[in-house]
Amino acid sequence: MGPITAIAIYLTIWWVVLFAVLPWGVQSHYEAGVDKGDGGDPAAPVDPKLKQKFLTTTWISAVVFAVIWLIIRFEVVKLPPLPSGY
């Protein structure tokens, strides 16, 4: 696996994991009983904790990528060769 392919796979994993992590521990204004005021959506999160979720996404993605890399590296599952360019 080349470096460009590895980066592309990692970024794909990162985005998928991010969308899985985003709803963790979120409490809406409605659930918290907080008045959002005029024009606010009551379903908007009170404190989304995005920095913590980005860090969590990064380490989970690193672990998933490492497992996938090991599977490919040690040929646990036989895959067809990836194209290396034109």
Query: What is the DSSP code (8-state) at residue 50?
Result: H
Neighbouring residues of 41: CB distance < 8 A, sequence distance ≥ 6: 29
Quote the pLDDT of residue 86: 62
What's the pTM value of the predicted model, to 2 decimals? 0.78
Q: What is the pLDDT of residue 57?
A: 97
Is residue 26 assigned to a domain? yes
The CA-based dihedral angle spanning residues 60, 74, 82, 59, taken in that order and rounded to the nearest 10 degrees: 10
The low-confidence residues of the chain, meaning pLDDT below 70, are 85-86
Which residue range(s) make up the domain with 56?
A: 3-73
What are the pLDDT digits (tens) for 19-32? 999 999 888 888 88
Number of domains the chain is built from: 1
Residue 39 has a pLDDT of: 76
Instruction: Flag whether 78 is in a domain.
Output: no
